[in-house]
Amino acid sequence: MSDARHEVDERWILRTELLWAFGVGVFIAAALGMILFTALTISVNPPSNVERIDPKALHLSGEFAEHNLGTTVSGDGTVIVRAIATQFMFVPQCIAVPANRRVTLRFASPDVIHGLLITGTNVNTMVIPGFVAQVHTEFTRTGDLLMPCHEYCGQGHSEMWATVQVLPENRFKPGSDGRVSCAQR
């Protein structure tokens, strides 16, 4: 191959590589821009919460004691759900939440690593003993949603699931203590 030909080819390859790098750069910028846009406009973020809790004393007192589990509506209207993921069940088994309202879900585990997702939503987190897993979300559709454990936690793992009952605002009625349970059917 002549030197001139070789030089032309090198220029062509360089141009192709620069064009490729530009295309990849545009895609990365667009993807990051989209993530940033949704984070700033509709608060879509990866759930992140580093909060320690003593897994050996979960049931004894404090936030995750049995009488505190379930859905609570505080005075300012904030909806907080507290649940324990344990071998091989979620406590409580059914969680009532309002539709189209911001909900804070808080989970803790006293034994091994669990995980959960709520079908048809973006709620998806691990529950690690010693930490509180916290997710903020808003349920857009009413009805019963399945909440299975998605982190293998032992022989009863496949039996470990709960129900999230998304109620319309007019049926989401907290009692005098601010607590809401699943509607009986």
Contact residues for other proteins, defined by CB under 8 A: 1, 5, 9, 12-13, 16, 19-20, 23-24, 27, 31, 34, 38, 42-47, 120-124, 135-140
Q: How far is the CB of 168 from other proteins (least distance, A)?
A: 16
Residue number with CB closer to other proteins (16 or 158): 16
Query: What residues contact 185, with CB distance under 8 A and at least 6 apart?
Result: none
- Choose between 18 and 60: whose C-beta lies nearer to other proteins: 18
Residue 11: Cβ-neighbour burial (10 angstroms; 0-12, 13-18, 19+): exposed
Of 36 and 60, nearer to other proteins (C-beta) is: 36
Nearer to other proteins, 53 or 123 (CB): 123
Task: Give me the least distance between CB of 130 and other proteins, in Å please.
Answer: 22
**Dmax of the chain from CA atoms?**
90
Candidates 47, 52, 46; CA nearest to 128 is 52
- According to DSSP, residue 183 is labeled P
Work out how close the CB of 77 gets to other proteins at its nearest, in angstroms, rounded to a whole number.
17
Residue 151 CB contacts under 8 Å (≥ 6 apart), including other chains? 113, 114, 115, 126, 127
DSSP class of residue 133 equals: E
Nearer Cβ to other proteins, position 74 or 122?
122
Rounded least distance, CB 169 to other proteins, Å: 16
Q: How far is the CB of 50 from other proteins (least distance, A)?
A: 15
